[in-house]
Amino acid sequence: MTYLNRVQFARGAVACLAEELALAGIARPLLVTDRGVIAAGLLDRLRAVLPDGMAVAVFDDVPPNPTEAAVLAAVKAYKDHRADGVIGLGGGSPLDLAKAVALLATHDGPLSQYAVIEGGLARITARAAPVVAVPTTSGTGSEVSRGALIVLGDGRKLSIGSPHLIPRAAICDPEMTLGLPPMLTAGTGMDALAHCVETLCSPRMNPIADAIARDGLARAWMALPRAVADGSDVTAREAMMLASMQGALAFQKGLGAVHALSHPLGGLSVPLHHGTLNAVLLPHVLRFNASAIEGVLPLLAAAMDEPADAGLIADAIAELSRAIGLPATLGEIGVPADILPAIADAAMLDHHHLTNPRRATRDEYLALLRAAHAGD
């Protein structure tokens, strides 16, 4: 594993922004964020620590699942501003969009040629513009990862990834997540938890990733209910921000069927939250994988203080999800039943399909989706 970026992790770490911009060589940034972040007053907090007189352009039209159209609009804003780098401020969507802007501002289109499953890794070079990431949620860990999930113009939600897209610096300030609404805290938190669980279940050998994921899972399991119950609990927020970062550091080992299924679901016209999808799918995938993860179960059990049984661990995760207010089925969150066969087809093409511990067939994916849709 290679860790290429610097992380400033502390309460009040946002004060390091000016220093990190200077180290990254960014003097005229495009700041990529969304309107919810602005409404929460977080953009104002960021502006307060920027160097005096710095020319900053703001792009705030980031959809809940970032799209190719939004990337192209942000690239235009980047070029109009004559920017020399990007600040990503927000959850996974603004941070992923910031990486895609850094790519297309310096590389020829179309965006699809840079997707991992299209062999895009080799096409992304060091010309990518520098990015500094400031997360305001604890879920995706995009601030330390090399990937960006983008819904392309043809409806596919694909990963664009390269070490050249890892932000130069990640400013992880738990105080930037205080007051995050309970449902968003819950959904993003379950995303972090799913990253840690799927990393541990991945059949690839990487004991460093496993150690990071185990620690992240233990932190998330302890802190997530507290963070949802009390938005001002800075200790719980700090633990969740660290668990989120740890999940993303570790998932270079590969994820699995949860993400192979949630990625195409996230490309539907119905706006679906990625972390909430993962929360619904994870118990079903754990039961499906039971025969292939016997060696991993003691690690999961120790981190969660649960018995080393796949069914009981799946039940405990489902119960946690319900306890923090998340829906239990795909049907509840608006996934149409008639789209499930197409999602199963798409999951077979997702790169995380290859690192699920039990290789699924298309029909097995469809059965899993139908169980998650109905709650069976």
Instruction: Using 70 as the pLDDT threshold, list the residues of the chain that sit under it.
Output: 1-3
pLDDT at residue number 376: 76
pLDDT at residue number 87: 98
Rounded CA separation 62/35 (Å): 8
Rounded CA separation 61/71 (Å): 10
- Coil, strand or helix at 113: helix
pLDDT at residue number 2: 59
Taking alpha carbons only, the member of 229, 276, 214, 264 closest to residue 365 is 264
Query: Kind of pairing, strands 131-135 and 169-172?
Result: parallel
Q: What is the DSSP string of 160-222?
A: EE-GGGS-SEEEE-GGGGTT--HHHHHHHHHHHHHHHHHHHH-SS--HHHHHHHHHHHHHHHH
Q: Is 182 exposed, middle or buried (0-12, 13-18, 19+ CB in 10 A)?
A: middle
Positions of E strands within the chain: 6-9, 29-32, 57-59, 85-90, 131-135, 147-151, 157-161, 169-172
Would you tell me how many other CB atoms lie within 10 Å of the CB of residue 376? Answer: 9
Q: Is 41 exposed, middle or buried (0-12, 13-18, 19+ CB in 10 A)?
A: exposed
User: Domains in the chain, ordered, with CATH?
Assistant: 6-176 (3.40.50.1970), 180-374 (1.20.1090.10)
pLDDT at residue number 326: 97
CA separation, residue 253 to residues 1, 9, 199 (Å) = 8, 23, 6
> HSE of 373 in the Cβ direction (CA atoms, 13 Å)?
18
Residues 6+ apart with CB under 8 A from 181: 231
